[in-house]
Structure 1
Amino acid sequence: MKWSTIQLQKYRGKSMDINETIDLTEALKNRDPQIRDVSPIHVIGNANITSEKVTFHLHITGKLILPCSRTLVDVDYPIDVHSTEIFHYQSSTSYDEEDDVEIHHTQGDVVDLDPVIIELILLEIPIQVFSEQAKDDQHLPSGTEWEVVTEDQVKQDEENKEKKIDPRLAGLAKFFDEQS
Structure 2
Amino acid sequence: MKWSINQLRKHQDAPLNFETDVEFSHLINNLQLIDLSPVHVGGTLSAKAKEVYADIVITGHYVMSCARTLEPVEVPFHIESLEVFDMNDYQLDAEDINRHEIINGMIDLKPVVEELVVLEKPVRVVKEDTEMSLTKGKGWEVVDEDQLQQEPAVDPRLAKLQDLL
Band the TM-score falls in, shorter-chain normalisation: 0.7 to 0.9
Aligned to 2:105: 109
1:129 deviates by 0.9
Question: 2:92 and 2:76 mapped to 1: Cα distance?
Answer: 30
TM-score w.r.t. structure 1 length?
A: 0.69
Q: Which residue of 2 aligns with 1:43?
A: 41
For each residue in 1:35-58, what CA deviation from the matched residue of structure 2 results, as whole angstroms up to 9, or x when unmatched?
221111111111111241110111
Q: Give the number of aligned pairs.
A: 161
Q: Tell me which amino acid in the other structure corresponds to 2:110.
A: D
Q: Secondary structure at the match of 2:81?
A: strand
**1:136 aligns to 2:129 (yes or no):** yes
Q: Is the 8 A contact 1:141 1:147 kept in 2?
A: no
Query: What code does the residue aligned with 1:66 have?
Result: M
Q: Matches of 1:89 and 1:49 in 2, distance apart?
A: 11
Q: Which amino acid is the alignment partner of residue 128 of structure 1?
A: R
Greater helix share, 1 or 2? 1
Q: Percent identity?
A: 28
Change (3 A) 1:29 1:137: closer
CA contact (8 A) 2:8 2:45 kept: no
In 2: Cα distance, 1:140 partner to 1:49 partner: 55
The runs of 5 or more residues in structure 2 that have no matched partner are 158-165
Offset of residue 104 of structure 1: 0.9
8 Å contact from structure 2 (residues 66, 126) kept in 1: yes
Q: Is the 8 A contact 1:94 1:102 kept in 2?
A: no
How far 1:80 moved relative to its partner? Answer: 0.9
Q: 1:156 to 1:89 in 2, by over 3 A?
A: same
Confirm or deny: 8 A CA contact 1:95 1:102 kept in the other structure.
no
1:79 CA displacement:
1.3
1:16 match: 16
Deviations 1:9-41, CA, capped at 9 Å, x for gaps:
222342100111111222x22542x22211111
